[in-house]
Amino acid sequence: MTDRTVLITGANKSIGYETARQLGGQGLRIWLGSRDADRGGQAAEQLAAEGIDVRLLHLDVTSDESVRSAVARVEAEDGKLDILINNAGIPGLQPILPSEQPLDNIKTVYETNVFAQIRMTQAFLPLLKAGDDARVVMVSSGLGSLGWLSDPANPHHPVNILGYNSSKTALNAVTLAFAKELAAFGIAVNAADPGYTATDFNDHTGYRTVEQAAGGIVWLATQAAPEVTGRFYFEQQQVPW
């Protein structure tokens, strides 16, 4: 066991849950963030049955009040946070032409995929500054890479989803902005592309397993060199912005 702590948003299922399982298996204390308290409780019980030090954190990342409450609890019980993994995200309407996606739906996507990540990082920054070798991992997507999306030879090129894709591009910009500021405090901030993973997002049509997807996130959270910051990775390989 270690005294390192990690908070993972959207961790009651899929990639978030598997990330919690892998990090918990390394001895880290898991703060399992879940908007649905019942599902989160079930996930926490399953991890605890594996011997993982896990605590359920009822958390709605789109709510200022909920995030403030989460910060207060983590501060009261641990006094610090070593790793923040901003995993929670939503797909929005898919498939739909960019010209036909309602603006309200795009705003909803941004609330969870962009603004919530900013909210979480800003709110937990004091606890991250109190942490040891603190790191922030933004769970992005290869569909946020403008380099890949603009390359006709890249497999991502045909996937033209305005709301989701652009939200992940924006999240990449958020990652870089925080990385530049927080480098002075020794806090690494990076983005991870989990790849096309079989989850509820895509009706389990993805070709990658959650174990594979979580592996890259776990690497950034625990194994990447401390000086690695402000970068975008897939399978430990840097991805173009």
Rounded to two decimals, the pTM is 0.94
Sheet with 232-234: list strands edge to edge.
54-58, 29-34, 5-8, 83-86, 135-139, 188-192, 232-234, 237-238
The DSSP string of 178-236 is HHHHHGGGT-EEEEE---SB-SGGGTT--SB-HHHHHHHHHIIIIIS-TT--S-EEETT
Confidence at residue 148, expressed as pLDDT on a 0 to 100 scale:
97
String of DSSP letters for 1-60: --S-EEEETT-SSHHHHHHHHHHHHTTPEEEEEESSHHHHHHHHHHHHHTT--EEEEE--
DSSP string across 75-144: HHHTS--SEEEE------S-S--TTTS-HHHHHHHHIIIIIHHHHHHHHHHHHHHTSSS-EEEEE--GGG
Half-sphere exposure at residue 73, Cβ-oriented, CA atoms within 13 angstroms: 15
Single-letter residue type at 187: I
Q: What is the DSSP letter of 241?
A: -
Tell me what pLDDT residue 81 has. 98
pLDDT in tens, 142-161: 999 999 999 999 999 999 99
pLDDT exceeds cutoff 50 at 198 = no
Amino acid at 167: S
* Whole-angstrom distance, CA of residue 231 vs CA of residue 225: 12
Asked whether the predicted pLDDT for residue 2 surpasses 90, the reply is: no
Q: Residue 1 — very low, low, confident or very high, per pLDDT cuts 50/70/90? A: low
For the chain, the domains span: 5-238
Lowest mean pLDDT across 50-64, 108-122, 162-176, 203-217 = 203-217
Say which CATH topology domain 5-238 has. Answer: Rossmann fold (3.40.50)
Mean pLDDT of the chain: 94
Residue with tokens 């996507």: 109
Q: Answer for the pair 170, 114: CB distance below 8 angstroms, yes or no.
A: yes
